[in-house]
Structure 1
Amino acid sequence: MKVVSLSYPISSELKQQLGQPQIAAIGQFDGLHLGHASVLSTAVRLAREEGVPAALITFYPHPKDVIRKGSYEGYLTPQPDKEALLADMGIDILYVVEFNEALSKVSPEAFFTDVLLPLELKTAVVGFDFRFGHKGQGDADMLAELGKGAMKVITIPPFLMSGEKVGSSSIRTALKTGQLSDANRWLGRHYRIRGSVIHGEKRGRLIGFPTANLELAESYVVPALGVYAVFAQIPGENRRIPGVMNVGVKPTFHEGITKPVFEVHLFDYEADLYGQMLTVDLVSYIRKEHKFESVDELVEWINRDAAEARTILSESE
């Protein structure tokens, strides 16, 4: 997959280089959930039928992260994660448009003329709730009107599961409230985070449960505090390693900590992981984090959590 970074306004030279018949999905696509997949699969199918590249036009940073509209804390799929997933979904060209204050003020008409038209799109595929241009003034109908004679516009209806619309906002809420099973079902895969292993307090080693402390590589949506059954992947190892992860503020040992710590205990694994980049898939939410009266009680619960995680993960393989 070819990745092309764009900033507004696009230079004349770059417009000449990029212009070619192609079919593109357009949108933010944070999460790349099953609803997004329905948009992307349509674009890929049409592109294959037409014998032209399948493209995706997206924006980074997220517009809400730039204009501070509403509550927006972290990404479901930060840009590097999104690129890896899109390559597996059949996208040939990924256009990443830099979203900044200047672009936020561009009218829908100017965005169409200055960004979309030079790309020579045969067809644009968008979701039912697609918006573009200053203050989201443009929608799919306006895009179709602007594209008359130049490109077709196909609008994909909402993707429903059990009668409920699949959307990024619902997935965010599910993650933050401990409804991981719903989030994973709507994503069509396990929620994933990546982070490098850093030195921690090494308390886990003293109580028989050494942990890899993760410094997250990107600004992810932080899931509900608590204990998770997880699979981890380590660079150079072609396997998933089962384990248990705690996301929390360690109330048994500390007070006043507000930034969650991500600690992963890998089952039957003893290699030195410091400096390694771990990819962690959250498979199941086991319980909330809470304060224990003693270290012995904490160890007892960790043993329970580990046993439950082993059972869950053995059934997931």
Structure 2
Amino acid sequence: MRIVSLSYPVSAEIAHEAAEPKVAAIGQFDGLHLGHASVLSTAVNIARDNGVPAALITFYPHPKDVIGKGSYEGYLTPQPDKQQLLEEMGIDILYIVEFNKEFSQVSPETFVEEMLLPLNLQTAVVGFDFRFGHKGAGDAVKLQELGEGRMTVVTVPPFLVDGEKVGSSSIRIALKTGQLSDANRWFGRNYRIRGSVIHGEKRGRKIGFPTANLELTDPYVVPALGVYAVRARTNKHDNWIPGVMNIGVKPTFHEGITEPIFEVHLFDFEGDLYDQIMTVDIVQYIRKEHKFESVQELVEWIQRDAVEARRILNVSE
């Protein structure tokens, strides 16, 4: 997959390099959930049928992060994760448009004339709720009007799971309220985070459950505080290792911690993980975080959590 960084307006050099006709999906696509996948697969299929590249035009940083609109906080799929998934989905060219205050003021007409048409789009593929231009003034119908005679516009209908529309906002809410099963069902995969393994308090090894403490590589949406069954691997270990993860503020040992701490205990693993990048697939929510009256009580609960995680992950002791 070729990655091209763009800024407004598209330069003559980029336009020259983009002379080949192409099909492009357009949108933010944070989450790359099943609804997004339906838009992207439509674009890829049209591109393959016409023998042209399949592209994606997306925006970074997230528009809501720039203009401070809504309750936006964190990414479901930060840019590095998004790039890997898009390549697996068959995208040939990824255009990443720099989103800033100036670009947020661009009208729908200017967006089409100075951003889309210079990229020589044969077909633009968008979701039913696609909005573009200053204050979201443009929609799929407007895009079709502005592109008439110069590019075709295909609008993909909502993607429904059990009769409910799949959307990034619903997934964010589900993650933050402990409804991980709903989020994973709408993703069509397990929610995934990545972090660098750093030194922690090393308390886990003293009580028989050594943990890898993660410093997240990107500003992910943080799931509800609690215990999860997970699978993890690092940049030095290709195989996925089952385990249990706690996302929390260690209320048994500390007070006043506000930033959640990510601790992963891998089953049946021995070795040094420090400074490695760990990827964690969050499989199932087990319980919320508790403050325990003693270390012994904490250990007993961790043992129960480990047994439950092994059951969920179908891993024998």
Tell me the TM-score normalised to structure 2 length: 0.98
**What's the counterpart of residue 202 of structure 1?**
202
Amino acid at match of 1:201: E
**What's the counterpart of residue 176 of structure 2?**
176
2:237 is paired with a residue whose SS is coil
Q: Mapping of 1:70-109 within 5 angstroms?
A: 70-109=70-109
Q: Mapping of 1:259-274 within 5 angstroms?
A: 259-274=259-274
Q: CA deviation at 1:194?
A: 0.1
Distance 1:185 1:14 in 2: 39
**What's the counterpart of residue 152 of structure 2?**
152
Task: Could you list the structure 1 runs, at least 4 aligned residues long, displaced by more than 4 angstroms after superposition.
Answer: none
Q: CA deviation at 1:237?
A: 2.2
Distance 2:9 2:234 in 1: 41
**What's the counterpart of residue 300 of structure 2?**
300
Distance 1:258 1:85 in 2: 32
- Which runs of 5 or more residues in structure 2 are unaligned? none
More deviation, 237-246/45-54: 237-246
Distance 1:17 1:129 in 2: 30
2:235 is paired with a residue whose SS is coil
Aligned length: 315
Give aligned-pair identity as a percent: 76
RMSD: 0.7
Query: CA-to-partner distance for each residue in 1:77-135, whole Å, 9 max, x for gaps?
Result: 00000000000000000000000001000111001000100111111000000000000
Kindly indicate whether the alpha-carbon contact (under 8 Å) linking 2:10 and 2:118 is maintained by their aligned counterparts in 1: no
Q: Mapping of 1:44-63 within 5 angstroms?
A: 44-63=44-63
Query: CA-to-partner distance for each residue in 1:168-201, whole Å, 9 max, x for gaps?
Result: 0000000000000000000000000000000001
Tell me the TM-score normalised to structure 1 length: 0.98
Distance 2:294 2:27 in 1: 50
Q: CA deviation at 1:25?
A: 0.3
Q: CA deviation at 1:314?
A: 1.2
Distance 1:193 1:177 in 2: 17
Query: CA-to-partner distance for each residue in 1:191-216, whole Å, 9 max, x for gaps?
Result: 00000000001110111100000000
Q: CA deviation at 1:70?
A: 0.8
**What's the counterpart of residue 139 of structure 2?**
139
Query: CA-to-partner distance for each residue in 1:119-158, whole Å, 9 max, x for gaps?
Result: 1111100000000000000000000000000001010010
**What's the counterpart of residue 129 of structure 1?**
129
Query: CA-to-partner distance for each residue in 1:254-284, whole Å, 9 max, x for gaps?
Result: 0011000000000011110000000000000
Q: Mapping of 1:152-301 within 5 angstroms?
A: 152-301=152-301
**What's the counterpart of residue 8 of structure 1?**
8
1:238 is paired with a residue whose SS is strand
Distance 1:132 1:75 in 2: 20
Query: CA-to-partner distance for each residue in 1:48-79, whole Å, 9 max, x for gaps?
Result: 00000000000000000000001111000000
Query: CA-to-partner distance for each residue in 1:3-55, whole Å, 9 max, x for gaps?
Result: 00001122212211123200000000000000000000000000000000000
Q: CA deviation at 1:236?
A: 3.1
- Which runs of 5 or more residues in structure 1 are unaligned? none
Distance 1:8 1:18 in 2: 15
2:239 is paired with a residue whose SS is coil
**What's the counterpart of residue 33 of structure 2?**
33
Distance 2:234 2:204 in 1: 20
Query: CA-to-partner distance for each residue in 1:233-261, whole Å, 9 max, x for gaps?
Result: 11232211000000000000000110000
Distance 2:89 2:178 in 1: 28
Kindly indicate whether the alpha-carbon contact (under 8 Å) linking 2:236 and 2:276 is maintained by their aligned counterparts in 1: no
More deviation, 12-21/127-136: 12-21
Distance 1:307 1:230 in 2: 13
